[in-house]
Amino acid sequence: MTTKGSVDPPLLRQWKLLRYLCASRLGRTVRELAADAGVSEKTVRRDLITLATAGFPLTEKAADHGKKLWRIETPGGIPEFKITFDEALGLYLANRLLEPLAGTGFWESAQSALKKIRVMLGDTAIRYVEQMADAVHVTRRGGNYATKADVIDQLLQGLEERRVVWLTYRSQRATEPVTYDAHPYGLTCHRGALYLIGFAPQHNEIRTWKIDRIDKVELDVMPFTRPGDFSLEKHLAGSFGVFQGNVPVKVVIRFTRAVARYVQETRWHASQVLTPQPDGALLAAFQLTTTAEIKQWALSFGANAEVLEPQALRAEVAGEVEAMRKLYADSESRQLPAKITKPK
């Protein structure tokens, strides 16, 4: 296991190089860019070639005293970036959706752009926009990753360079964190939370880790090979969220008339088939590979949802309902703990 250094992952480092070049009209030398990024000149040259190959208009030209400057330009000169006021307003308001990523390199770049938008709009317009923003509330039920910037940066580097990572992870049921190796395949966002999906050698299977529960990430020098046919979309096709199983299963749930319209308004899964019933109820069928997440979803509807298939899931839900019945059977006599005060 290697000790984490202070070098940025390639994606973030190249992002910073673009920012340095965009901020300089005359251009920067490789030596200057290397000093800014804290890496070798060889690394900077490799990054510049990568960016140029990706289509960014980078050129290297000779300057005074034999210096060679890199800069961003097009044959007609640096194009003027134009943005309309309604586009600026939209971007400013959309920034609230990025708040869970506060502290990461992506968040910092977005904030830099927003500063320019604020200058463009002016103080009076910004006050107007803030009033508009207060009228649109975005619930924040996901994680706050301001303290996970280092974890995300290390994972991004592992993803990009296909390098083994060592995760110090505290599972939901664990009392102490455990450190083990993993092959990072990709990141996915579900209900405002970030998850890492990758291969766990010690279990010989693809697993899912919640970023909130990762205490530390360290990069190993050891590379890994990701299967050529792997894709996050295909991997999660049988999931009702982020967790995947191995056995295909058909799930059928009957929703009462009281919630039928609500269920019909949303695409819960790519495989869903919704069939309205004569009495106003709704049958919802799904093709999944695990029932863990859909069980909790069905339970969230209380008596307005009845699992019809498979029988094993129906039995699990019935068991949960019975356990809840017993829990609330003596609710009238149950007392609040001494440290909790009753609401007034």
> What tens digit of pLDDT does each residue of 220-259 get?
999 999 999 999 989 999 999 998 888 999 999 999 999 9
State both tokens at 152: 């995300």
Whether residue 332 is predicted with pLDDT greater than 70 in this model: the reply is no
**What local confidence, expressed as pLDDT, does residue 207 receive?**
93
**CATH 3.40.50 fits domain 249-329:** no
pLDDT higher for 126 or 309? 309
Instruction: List the domain boundaries for the chain.
Output: 10-72, 85-135, 146-231, 249-329
**What local confidence, expressed as pLDDT, does residue 96 receive?**
65
**What local confidence, expressed as pLDDT, does residue 152 receive?**
86
**What local confidence, expressed as pLDDT, does residue 49 receive?**
85
- Taking only the tens place, the pLDDT of each residue in 13-47 is 777 787 788 777 778 888 888 888 888 888 888 88
Would you say the pTM of this structure is higher than 0.75?
no
Burial 211-227 (b: 16+ CB within 10 A, else e): bbbbeebbbeeeebeee
Written out in words, the top-level CATH class of the domain with range 146-231 is mainly beta
Determine the Cα–Cα distance for residues 158 and 132; give it in Å rounded to an integer: 40
The CATH code of domain 10-72 reads 1.10.10.10
183: Cα separation from own chain's centroid = 18
DSSP state of 260: H
Best CA proximity match to 107, nearest among 173, 15, 169: 15
Which distant-in-sequence residues (6+ apart) come within 8 Å of 71 by Cβ? 21, 24, 25, 26, 27, 28, 58, 59, 61
Whether residue 78 is predicted with pLDDT greater than 50 in this model: the reply is no
Beta carbons of 150 and 9 less than 8 angstroms apart:
no
**What local confidence, expressed as pLDDT, does residue 244 receive?**
86
Whether residue 58 is predicted with pLDDT greater than 50 in this model: the reply is yes
Per-chain mean pLDDT for the chain? 82
- In percent, the amount of the chain with pLDDT more than 90 equals 40
